[in-house]
Structure formats: C-alpha cells, structure tokens
Amino acid sequence: MKTILSIDPLKNELKKLREQNRSIGFVPTMGFLHEGHLSLVRESKKENDRTVVSIFVNPAQFAPHEDFDSYPRDMKKDSEMLEEMGVDILFCPAAAEIYPGGYATYVEVEKLGNVLCGKSRENHFRGVTTVVLKLFNIVGPTRAYFGRKDAQQAIIIKKMVTDLNLDVVIRTAPIARDVDGLALSSRNVYLSAEERKAALQMPAALQRAKAKIDEGFRDALAVKKMIREELKKNPSIEIDYVEVASLDRLEDAVVINPGNTLVAAAIRVGKTRLIDNFILGEI
C-alpha cells in the first residue's frame, strides 16, 4: 500500500492507472475505521482493479460547537488495517491543502440537505458534498462507496453526482452492526457502558417499527410515534428527530411506500450524537 499525503503525487499515480485502463474504487473516510468501512473496502476490491481509501477529518462538515477536535483518530491502526486488506493507495491530505487560505468555494444540494440531520447540523451536508466533490476531482474514481447508516449523506451525494454529471458510480453498503445491534460508528467510542445500553434502545425501536411495517402497517405518523415512545422510555436519550420520509426526495411520508421509504432517527446520549435507520427500497 502506498500512503500519499498530498494531491499532486496522488494525481500522478492515478493518471498512470487510468492510462492503463484500470478501474479505480474509492472509499472516502474520516478514519478510526470499523467493520462498516472495511465492508466498503471489500466491495471496492471486488469490483475494481485498484482501491483508494482517503482518511480526512473534514473540518467543513463540523459546526464550531461539534466534535472536530475530539473526533477519534488512530492513523497507525487504520493504516495497518488497510494494508492488511490489500488497499492500493491510502490518501491522507492535510487540511491546509484541501482548504488553503482564502478557500471560498462550496457545493450544496438544495432541500435534501436541510431536512433530517441537516435541521440540527447547519452546513454539515454542504461540508460533506464540498469535500466529496473535491476528492472525486482529485481521485477520479470509477466507483465510490458509502455506508447506508448515513443514508441521507448517500442520497445527497447521488443527487450531486446526477446534477453535476459526474462520471462516477455511487455504491452503497448495508449498515454494519455490533453483536448487540448498535450500528457501528467511530463515535461509539465516546459511549460509557451505561450510555451504550441506552443507545441500544434506538436499533430496538427501529427493529420493532420495521416488523410492524413488514406486517403491512402503513401509517407513517403512527410509526414515528411508536419509535418516539420507545425511545422516551429511557430518560438518558434526547431525541433529535424521528422521521419517515420518501427515499428519493426525503419528504415527510404520510402513507408508507414499501419501495421508497427511509425511517431514520437521531438521538443524543450524553455528549454523543448517534444515527440509525432502515430503508425500504433502494439507494
């Protein structure tokens, strides 16, 4: 595995691969890798001649009061894991190269970025789409891989790719979960044992709602209420949102369409913000 720290040497390396007609799979990450990331790497390796992974904790997607400074980082362990998986190139740029002094250009997907997580995380998706577009321009991937835990992120990136006629295929992979059911997230490391127990209420509530829908239940408002009530049973959970929305437009659903629905929740347990969802349909 080659570890490359700046843009020009990476572009040179990738230019050579493109000249040899090699397909390039790209997995953008913020590091502190877990099985969710590794499943994306595995998919990329299956589908492409070469796999590039980036690790960049993107300041533009954190609000000033959020956890940019304390976001978990372990470059040595990440690098060892990726090497072991047979990743070809690891790209770890410095923030000053991605956002040099005077940086002024942002890309924003309207509407989709203002709902769900976008309501409480102002400018978050603008930061995500900006860095992802920059990384796509730098890497020039054939295919890029995103997890469905961040379903809204994947939907927004797909929309950006369509709207801006980008030449990259977006693939998504299912949520990876720990044995207890908690969706894997780099932020899970913040949770105490007590908090983790509380956080498990979220996958449990979503699972119950999914079972109800699988039985034929279609009332979106009742499903939201049911999930909220489950979550409220634990006083250490602060609900950010529970939403039932169309997958394609992320608009509030009234009747659940079993081929086009996202059921998503975000909670805070202590200082940790966690998200989870299930998807009826394809993204």
Least Å distance, CB 221 to ligand PAF, is 30
Least Å distance, CB 245 to ligand PAF, is 19
Least Å distance, CB 217 to ligand PAF, is 31
**Closer to ligand PAF at the Cβ: 144 or 242?**
144
Least Å distance, CB 234 to ligand PAF, is 27
**Closer to ligand PAF at the Cβ: 237 or 250?**
250
Among 17, 29, 87, 205, indicate the residue that binds ligand PAF (CB under 6 A): 29
Q: Site for ligand PAF (CB under 6 A): how many residues?
A: 10
Q: Is 34 a catalytic residue?
A: no
**Closer to ligand PAF at the Cβ: 79 or 201?**
79
CA atoms within 13 A on the CB side of 74: 12
Least Å distance, CB 4 to ligand PAF, is 17
Within positions 119 to 178, which residues make up the interface with ligand PAF, using CB under 6 A?
Answer: 128, 131-132, 150, 153
**Closer to ligand PAF at the Cβ: 30 or 253?**
30
Cα–Cα distance, 255 to 222 (Å, whole number): 10
Q: Interface with ligand PAF includes 227 (CB under 6 A)?
A: no
User: In which residue are the tokens 């349909």 written?
Assistant: 281
DSSP codes joined into one string, the chain: -EEE-SHHHHHHHHHHHHHTT--EEEEEE-SS--HHHHHHHHHHHHH-SEEEEEE---GGGS-TTSSTTTS---HHHHHHHHHHHT-SEEE---HHHHS-TT-------TTTTTSTHHHHSTTHHHHHHHHHHHHHHHH--SEEEEEGGGHHHHHHHHHHHHHTT-S-EEEEEPPPB-TTSPBP-GGGGG--HHHHHHHTHHHHHHHHHHHHHHTT--BHHHHHHHHHHHHHTSTTEEEEEEEEEETTT-PBPSB--TTEEEEEEEEEETTEEEEEEEEEE--
Least Å distance, CB 55 to ligand PAF, is 9
Among 4, 10, 17, 30, indicate the residue that binds ligand PAF (CB under 6 A): 30
Among 239, 237, 234, smallest CA distance to 266 is for 239
Q: What are phi and psi of 25, to 5 degrees?
A: -95, 140
Among 4, 14, 24, 28, indicate the residue that binds ligand PAF (CB under 6 A): 28
CA atoms within 13 A on the CB side of 93: 23
Site mask, ligand PAF, residues 41-60, x = CB under 6 A? -----------------x--
Of 17-25, 28-36, 89-97, 213-221, which part binds ligand PAF (CB under 6 A)? 28-36
Catalytic residue among 34, 37, 65, 124: 37
Site mask, ligand PAF, residues 193-222, x = CB under 6 A? ------------------------------
User: Which residues carry out catalysis?
Assistant: 37
**Where do contacts with ligand PAF occur on this chain (CB under 6 A)?**
28-30, 58, 61, 128, 131-132, 150, 153
